Chains A and B, each alone.
Chain A
Amino acid sequence: LKRNRAEIPNTYEWKNQLSEPGFIAAPVSCFKHAPIYECWDNITVGMKVEVENTDCDNFSESFPDSFWVATVLKIAGYKALLRYEGFGQNGSKDFWLNLCCNTVHPVGWCATRGKPLIPPKTIQDKYKDWKEFLVKRLTGARTLPSNFSTKIEDSLISRFRCGMNLEVVDKNRISRMKVARIEKIVGKRLHVKYYQAEQDDNGFWCHEDSPLIHPCGWSERVGHCISAHRSYMERCISGNLHEDDATEEYFITPRTIHYPPDIEFREGMKLEAVDPLNLSSICVATVMKVLKEGYIMIRIDSYDADESGADWFCYHSSSPCIFPAGFCDTNSIPLTPPKGYDPSEFDWETYLRENNLETVPLALFNREVPAHGFVVGMRLEAADLMDPRLVCVGTVSRVVGRLLKVHFDGWEEEYDQWLDCESPDVYPVGWCELVGQKLEGPRVT
């Protein structure tokens, strides 16, 4: 079982920060893609659980592992502050534990395995009759569902399996796709290796819900550029995919948007977009090509013009990372202007008039703002999308509608990332520990 894995060397542990005043973790209910998101509403403060009793003699032949009941005092992501029953107001032995770890169980779990509950040494003489005490403390209290452990295990299972092929954005040339093979899966994050890559290429990491991956045959179908072997293209065109080729049902399909008649994305239209190569920046961009099924190729206008089109990037028209002209101004976000323009002087109206340009109509953007629950100051774990094998500790530093700015603790603002509130690249505190991913701590200067 994944949750029985060995400890990860040099992984960061939140424990020293969890009790700091003002520490707020984004709740698991903010992360739709996170394990056991669906039942997290039922995990509450005051709930009773059975946990390992670490306040006992180190070795007992009759009971090699000892358990006792504890109350959840505080919740931070997947972590909970627990107090053993019987300690009353005494918080000296309180401890933080990941609620999804394999030593936390619903009340009743020990009895079904024939294990007696053993009171911690500190309080073992406090009551003569533990039965009366436990009946009083437990009756009417809440506990975890008896299938909690199964629920966690089920929620950790990826839709994908190692060995599957899929189409992935080429990390060295973001305007094209490449065929890649899944080498490893950690917490539904896929480690893929490109076919025909250099021997020392370490491949690419992304979450299975990432918009950077697509089923085999997708590029050919929507008209996106792909670098692939001829035999691969032949099987895409003929529809005779291999059994290892990932098909449509493995992927998140972007929602279909019904646009008003006669309004459409057209080549040359201007908009604002998160720079895929520098996620701390929102830039003036141009629609370079309209693909099928609602996909568009955009170019970030602040870069030198590249005639080869190597700097184009594919966004779906429903992407929450593209915005109408004026979005940054309205929300007091610095906008990176086209190359050659002074950021302090750039003005959309003048720019459009002087260059005889038009913007993408407002009606074409996804303006839905879900009730996501993120607020400034919340702590989380986030993939560093410039080196996506890394997952780091971060803080929500701005919230603009559905857009979040994630700051990596200890790093300069230039490393921040603008992300959508439903991005599969952010995770609750304790996620790395739960899935067996190394967590990078704050940079210490």
Chain B
Amino acid sequence: SETKSRKWEQKQVQIKTLEGEFSVTMWASGTDD
């Protein structure tokens, strides 16, 4: 539902591996308040 989909927000997430750092776009529930 629309309400349900609003709970999820797109966010840039930083990843670090032994080879280096990069970012990916993920979805996290919109409770980061």
Contact = CB atoms under 8 A, between A and B. Distances in A.
Interface in B1-17: 4, 7-8, 13-17
B31 A131 contact: no
Interface in A95-139: 106-108, 110-112, 114-118, 129-131, 134-135, 138-139
24 contacts: A39-B29, A42-B31, A106-B13, A107-B26, A111-B14, A114-B16, A117-B15, A117-B16, A117-B17, A118-B18, A129-B19, A131-B17, A131-B22, A138-B15, A139-B24, A139-B26, A140-B26, A142-B27, A142-B29, A145-B28, A145-B30, A145-B31, A146-B32, A147-B31
B17 A143 contact: no
- For chain A, the bracket of interface size reads 20 to 34
Interface in A333-354: none
Contacts of B17: 116-117, 130-131, 134
A151 interface: yes
Contact of A108 (B4, B8, B14, B30): B14
A422 B29 CA distance: 26
A138 B28 contact: no
Contacts of B27: 140-143
Interface residues of B, number: 23
A114 B21 CA distance: 10
A41 interface: yes
4 closest A-B pairs by CB: A42-B29, A108-B13, A111-B14, A111-B16
A138 B24 contact: yes
A237 B13 CA distance: 59
A56 interface: no
B31 A141 contact: no
Given A115-B16, A142-B8, A145-B29, 11 more contacts: A42-B7, A108-B14, A110-B16, A116-B16, A117-B15, A118-B18, A130-B17, A131-B17, A138-B13, A139-B26, A141-B27
Interface in A144-181: 144-147, 151
Interface of B: 4, 7-8, 13-22, 24-33
A143 B20 contact: no
Contacts of A144: 28-29
B8 to A, nearest CB: 7
Q: Is the interface of A mostly helix, strand, loop or mixed?
A: mixed
A118 B15 CA distance: 11
Contacts of A129: 19
A143 B29 CA distance: 8
A438 interface: no
A48 B19 CA distance: 21
Nearest to B33: A147
Contact of A151 (B20, B30, B31): B31
A143 B31 CA distance: 12
Contacts of A108: 13-15, 26
A40 to B, nearest CB: 10
Nearest to A137: B24
Residue of A131, A138, A143, A145 most packed against chain B (CB within 10 A): A145
A135 B20 CA distance: 13
Contacts of A135: 22, 24
Nearest to A151: B31
B3 to A, nearest CB: 10
B24 A145 contact: no
Nearest to B10: A140
Given A111-B21, A117-B16, A134-B17, A41 B7 contact: yes
Nearest to B7: A42
B29 A139 contact: no
Contacts of A110: 15-16
Nearest to B14: A111
Contacts of B30: 145
Nearest to A130: B17
B15 A134 contact: yes
A131 B16 contact: no
Given A41-B7, A111-B21, A138-B26, A143 B13 contact: yes
A42 B16 contact: no
B33 to A, nearest CB: 8
Contacts of A146: 28, 32
Contacts of B18: 116, 118, 130
B28 A142 contact: yes
Contacts of A138: 13, 15, 24, 26
